Amino acid sequence: MAKDAQQHRMEKIVSLCKRRGFVFQSSEIYGGLNGFWDYGPMGVELKRNLKDYWWRRMVHEREDMVGMDGSIIMNRAVWRASGHEETFSDPMVDCKTCKSRHRADQLPRKDDVPYCPNCGGRDLTEPRAFNLMFKSHAGPVETDENLVYLRPETAQAMFVQFKNILETSRKKLPFGIAQIGKAFRNEINPRNYTFRSREFEQMEVEYFCRAEDGLALTDYWLEERLKFYEDIGIPRAKIRINDIPDGERAFYSKKTYDLEYDFPFGVSELEGIAYRTDYDLSKHMEHSGKPLEYFDEEKKEKFVPHVVEPSAGVDRTTLALLCEAFDEEEVTDDKGQKEVRTVLRFHPRMAPVKCGVFPLLKNKPALVEKARAIAVALRPHMMTFYDEAGAIGRRYRRQDEIGTPFCVTVDFDTIGENGPEKQDTVTLRHRDSMQQERIPVTELRAHLEAAIF
């Protein structure tokens, strides 16, 4: 698709996200805050479905994984040991003309000369390192001793708690720790909607193993993660695997794959899968003076485990789900009029609302009562939306726009007005095909659960 068309598509997605309650600007009534976003009623469901499914796949369905939930603020010593205090920075330049600040490696260029994207000026300072960690103070005194950082990644808690988790879970190598949580980076130029934010969520695994298994396990995790994306509705063909060459990886990493998605604004990173060797545990051993080795009972060997880290972004994956799902198609309505149908074709397990339930008419108490009873019965099992306002076609369109895979309509057949054969059956309408089928109310729940599991 041409660049303009892609930009237009992105604008439509952003506008739908606001209109339908997926994403709002943080602090909007005060003019917003650059790099911060709020998820509305639909966005929070989408994000929660993603996180819950990741947790199910990474933790509940596996014998070799356990979870944890670490604090956002940790002892500053953690960030000294990990190298973040020293090196977690991006190169920054100032424009001397308009005083704006930019990431040196993302500046636009003309005739190979970088220029300021704000005013076009070419009078830029030399790049200097800007540390991306947000600072605060723990306690009432703002001294250097009390300085703390908001974590820029969730990973470090899993290294720092390695020994406690090993001892309490009694896992044997290879095994992993999984965590989902907020991370904060004071990005110089937040951009591309929620893609590069200053506050975001990560879903990370630290998978500990023997040194000799590290490379093979990196390839194993690449395959696992590709399967995961497929199972949430992002096909392999849409993901580019970037095998980071020697010299471009972090110096301690023996292999790194970046998984990139074809966003409307360009192919960009969704997840990194890095074989980090024994770098992290060794650094924490060195700095804390505490032993973090693993003891193999059978072989009577003591060693520092190596680690493979699949690190994914919740917000970036949520955005990829929205971009992948967004579709517009021309349809013909009952009166033969052509119109554009906007539809989010989410995988049913990711869709914020699983089922819409409607009475055909809102002024017929028997229909309303029956429809409400069906909604009440479904609610404990899946996110269900009851709607009686407007023509039935309009109600379907509203559900299409938020990606609801199924809609159920209660009509006169349901309440037995057209004979006993169709009594207690409803119309089940499918979002993608718009096909309708008749299904007994008693089978509804099992039918829907099979599709959304």
The residue with tokens 């190598």 is 173
- Least gap, CB of 445 to ligand ATP (angstroms): 35
- 97 scored as a contact of ligand ATP (CB under 6 A): no
Binding mask 129-168 for ligand ATP (x = CB under 6 A): ------------------------x---------------
Q: Does 100 bind ligand ATP (CB under 6 A)?
A: no
Q: Which is nearer to ligand ATP, 224 or 388 (CB)?
A: 224
Query: Angle CA(314)–CA(319)–CA(320) in degrees, nearest 5?
Result: 95
The residue within the footprint of ligand ATP, chosen from 45, 206, 271, 387 (CB under 6 A), is: 271
Q: Which is nearer to ligand ATP, 195 or 406 (CB)?
A: 195
Determine, following the binding rule CB under 6 A, whether residue 269 of this chain makes contact with ligand ATP: yes
Shortest-Cβ-distance residue relative to ligand ATP = 313
Cα(399)–Cα(356) distance, integer angstroms: 7
What is the DSSP annotation of 388-401?
Answer: -SS-HHHHHHHHHH
Does position 229 bind ligand ATP by CB under 6 A? no
Note whether 353 and 383 are within 8 A (CB). Answer: yes
Q: State which residue, 89 or 97, has the beta carbon closest to ligand ATP.
A: 89
Q: Largest Cα–Cα distance in the chain? A: 82
Is residue 309 helix, strand or coil?
A: strand
Q: Which of 89, 311, 342, 423 binds ligand ATP (CB under 6 A)?
A: 311
Q: Is 184 in a helix, a strand, or coil? A: strand
316 binds ligand ATP (CB under 6 A): yes
Closest contact distance (angstroms) between CB of 164 and ligand ATP is 24
Q: Report the sign of the C-alpha dihedral through residues 8, 9, 10, 14, in that order.
A: positive
Q: How open is the CA angle 324-328-333, to the nearest 5 degrees? A: 145
Q: How far apart are the first and last CA of the chain?
A: 34
CA distance 275 to 257: 9
Helices (H), 232-332: 279-288, 314-325
Q: How far is the CB of 153 from ligand ATP (least distance, A)?
A: 6
Considering only 20, 47, 115, 187, the residue that binds ligand ATP (CB under 6 A) is 187
**Interface ranges with ligand ATP (CB under 6 A):** 153, 185, 187, 196-197, 200, 202, 269-272, 311-313, 315-316
